Amino acid sequence: MKKPFLNASCLGRIDRCDGRGRCFHVAVPCRPGDPILSEDPYEAVLYNDSVQSRCHHTFHESQQLLRCSGCRFARYSSRAAQKAAWAEGHKEECAALRACAPRVPPATVRLAARLLWKHARQSPGKGGLPANVETLEHHWDSLPDSRKQTLAQMAVLTREYMAGAGAPDLLAPREVAHLLARFSCNSHTICDEELRVTGVGLYPVGAMLNHSCTPNAFQSFAGKRIVFRAVQPLAAGQEATISYVELAATRAERRAALLEGYCFDIDAVKAVEAQPVTERVIPGHDRSAQLKLYSSSPHVMDQHDVALTSLNSSVGGNASVQKGAEDSADASAAQDFESLEEPVPGSQAGGSSMQPAAVIECWSRQGGMDGAELARDAEPCVEVLRSAAVQHHAAESSLAADDPHGAVAAGKAGLRQLDRCHPHAQEHVWRMRLLAVLLRAQVCAGDSWPDALDTARRLTPFYKRLYPKVWPTLGLHHASVAKIASLLEQDVTALKASQAAADILQYTHPESPVLQEQWQLLYNLQREKGSRSDALELQDV
């Protein structure tokens, strides 16, 4: 093992590991909640839609922001922040943004430009990339041609954008494309305490943490500084892992996202994937509703999948959203900055442009079941799942279009569809997704809190099963339940949810106002409970 980093905020070291390149080992035993690494980004930028509400330098939200009079794009929480930002790269950025106004390049293009300007400032005349960026994986040779083409077009865009600042040509187009490919598999999506996406940053040491679908650490952010914390006890020398993808998804979906975004296969260590014996497109639905039939249970599905997709005792199902032809759409819109926004780690849950689809994977648990019989059982469910997927898409679109009532209607319609499915489909992945979008819509609409509480409570068992015990999404979900229940004066529910939230958030958000809020709520609820039991006792007397 190499020496630990001198960086005092790092409790580990980088080593080589079998088949996965480099990895991060903790140097000392850690308890849940212990920070194992915290790091400022080598470079970071806000996403375009966060720019109006957040400081360009600190990434903190603010009601009163000062707008840069040069580019009229960047906004700052104070003069000091503006001054610091100017010295740290906004000087060149401001000129480039002015030159391409009113268009604004996507965040990853702005990130690449800032990184190259920074390197030129710190190592004048050296060229190339900083050493800690150069060594990051880019997997260029494994990328499909369509992806290479998109990255090449983004590289052209980056160079055009940088030329606006009158800077010398810093990197050849091919090298810029490789840099953008490095972003795809090494950058981190920056979120605030409530897990709202704010920007994207490159953290060279943080990029050493490998993926696991049962991670023992997770990342959160203080402004744009990343902090990795343990979510389980870690022994000295143990590898720290995070999840690169949404954990509340089926294995098939996680596998596809990892293959596409990070070029590795979570099933690579297992035997050859089970091949379906029959594959059929459901009539009238192109490839958007498909049936795949296996003669026996495909070993690649895990418990997680079975919980999310089982339909009945002899048939299993798996409905997934298939990614549309994003790359070719991007390629044909090379001149349109916004359409070239790149997916980055942790951000693949998006995809509002996807075509909703239902793919059902059926297998016989006993093996040897008659294929026609399986198909007959499953086919009506495919139709129902397909409709549920369509309603989910409609609900997401309505929410994005600021129409929460439309989203509530679509979400409820989707859930009603699913009620027609086999009772064992109660735990299907589309039910979880419909409940999640319905809850967001009901909270946005703000006119039926009892319904919102009911939705939130129906979602809880899914999240408890799918996320690790200590996980921010689960903690924040309990916090939402507590808030809605306390609004409705359902104190017992509020108290339980608030306690569950605080039990998690004390590890995941130890220094954040989100946890303070829970302590306050818990305190108020316990005090009220106390005074009510005092009152009762007095009455009894």
Ligand X SMILES: C[S@@+](CC[C@H](N)C(=O)[O-])C[C@H]1O[C@@H](n2cnc3c(N)ncnc32)[C@H](O)[C@@H]1O
Tell me if 263 contacts ligand X by CB under 6 A. yes
Quote the CA–CA distance of 143 and 146 in Å, as a whole number. 8
The least distance separating ligand X from the CB of residue 20, rounded to whole angstroms, comes to 4
CA torsion, ordered 523, 524, 530, 536, to nearest 10 deg: -170
Nearer to ligand X by Cβ, of 22 and 323: the residue is: 22
Member of 59, 203, 228, 262 binding ligand X (CB under 6 A): 262
Quote the CA–CA distance of 314 and 310 in Å, as a whole number. 9
Tell me if 83 contacts ligand X by CB under 6 A. no
Burial (CB count <10 Å: 0-12, 13-18, 19+), residue 19: exposed
Judging by DSSP bridges, how do beta strands 241-242 and 210-211 pair with one another? parallel
Nearer to ligand X by Cβ, of 73 and 264: the residue is: 264
* Number of Cβ atoms within 10 Å of the Cβ of 147: 19
The least distance separating ligand X from the CB of residue 139, rounded to whole angstroms, comes to 6
Tokens representing 400 are: 């994005």
The least distance separating ligand X from the CB of residue 467, rounded to whole angstroms, comes to 18
Tell me if 186 contacts ligand X by CB under 6 A. yes
Nearer to ligand X by Cβ, of 185 and 522: the residue is: 185
Nearer to ligand X by Cβ, of 200 and 207: the residue is: 207
Nearer to ligand X by Cβ, of 244 and 363: the residue is: 244
Tell me if 137 contacts ligand X by CB under 6 A. yes
The least distance separating ligand X from the CB of residue 530, rounded to whole angstroms, comes to 49
* Cis ω for the linkage preceding 204 (within 30 of 0): no
Quote the CA–CA distance of 29 and 8 in Å, as a whole number. 16
Map the footprint of ligand X across residues 291-310, applying CB under 6 A: none
Site string for ligand X, 200-239 (x = CB under 6 A): -------xx-xxx---------------------------
Q: Taking CA 484 as the corner, what is the angle to CA 478 and CA 490, rounded to the nearest 5 degrees?
A: 100
Tell me if 21 contacts ligand X by CB under 6 A. yes
Residue carrying the six token digits 């892992």: 241
Nearer to ligand X by Cβ, of 210 and 508: the residue is: 210
Nearer to ligand X by Cβ, of 113 and 242: the residue is: 242
Query: How is 380-431 classified by DSSP, letter by letter?
Result: HHHHHHHHHHHHHHHHHHHHHTT-HHHHHHHHHHHHHHHHTS-GGGGG-HHH
Tell me if 264 contacts ligand X by CB under 6 A. yes
Helices (H), 233-357: 251-262, 303-309, 326-332
Which of these segments, 262-270, 363-371, 427-435, 458-466, binds ligand X (CB under 6 A)? Answer: 262-270
The least distance separating ligand X from the CB of residue 17, rounded to whole angstroms, comes to 7
Nearer to ligand X by Cβ, of 215 and 317: the residue is: 215
Quote the CA–CA distance of 144 and 254 in Å, as a whole number. 19
Judging by DSSP bridges, how do beta strands 225-230 and 289-294 pair with one another? unpaired
Tell me if 185 contacts ligand X by CB under 6 A. yes
The least distance separating ligand X from the CB of residue 25, rounded to whole angstroms, comes to 12
Q: Which residues make up the interface to ligand X (CB under 6 A)? A: 20-23, 136-137, 139, 185-186, 207-208, 210-212, 262-264
